[in-house]
Amino acid sequence: MKKEVKLQNSGKVLIINTATTEEVKVLKNCLLEEIKKHPLGLKLLGNTQSIFDKQVDFTAVFDFIKNVLISIDTSETTTNAVFDCLKHCVYDKTHKVTLSLFDEVEEAREDYYEIIFACIEENLKPFIKSLVSMWKTRLVKLGKNQLSNILSAILIS
């Protein structure tokens, strides 16, 4: 699959050619390992007995996101996995996307994170789509109890 993305900062075009399934699997596993390192602990606030009348303290959510993003960005293993996928991509119609691109074409540094995010998104999208559709199907089949109905409504909407 091939996708063209016009990059915001430089206006250059990034051509994303999807990586091999094995390369994407390694990338997915690296990202999941970094996410797994940072548990998400939500706090429910309020004194009522009903769980549905409580408020959620989102401070933990913001800390989780911050910690995961920093962890992913500083992980050499994840960087290597991303650049294994990026080697299939082309920047500005002439440059293969490698780590040296950002030294050879300094203005590409302005696009660094957008290039990485676009590559991750394009390569993982089919697998995430498959996972979500599988869970929708499974939750509908489990629809006999209230909890699965609530989870199904959240995932389907």
Residue 139 lies in a domain: no
Which of 145, 14, 2, 4 minimizes the C-alpha distance to 90?
14
Q: What is the pLDDT of residues 124-152, one digit of tens each?
A: 998 887 777 667 766 666 655 555 556 55
- Rounded distance, CA 65 to CA 142, Å? 31
Residue 60 lies in a domain: yes
Question: Is 59 in contact with 14 (CB distance < 8 Å)?
Answer: no
* Least confident window among 59-73, 119-133, 141-155: 141-155
Residue 105 lies in a domain: yes
How remote is the C-alpha of 145 from its chain's centroid? 31
How far is residue 138 from each of residues 2, 128, 133, 135, 153, measured CA to CA in Å? 31, 15, 9, 5, 13
Question: Is 27 in contact with 19 (CB distance < 8 Å)?
Answer: yes
Residue 85 lies in a domain: yes
Show the CA angle centred on residue 122, arms to residues 35 and 17, nearest 5°.
130
pLDDT of residue 130: 76
Q: Which residues contact 63 (CB under 8 A, 6 or more apart)?
A: none
Q: Which residues contact 157 (CB under 8 A, 6 or more apart)?
A: none
Residue 83 lies in a domain: yes
- Rounded distance, CA 78 to CA 74, Å? 8
The reported pTM is 0.73
Domain count, the chain: 1
Q: Is the pLDDT of residue 68 over 80?
A: yes
Predicted confidence band of residue 73 (pLDDT cuts 50, 70, 90): very high
Residue 134 lies in a domain: no
115: containing domain:
2-125
Residue 84 lies in a domain: yes
Residue 118 lies in a domain: yes
Helix ranges (H only) for 37-111 are 59-74, 76-86, 101-104
pLDDT of residue 108: 96
pLDDT of residue 153: 58
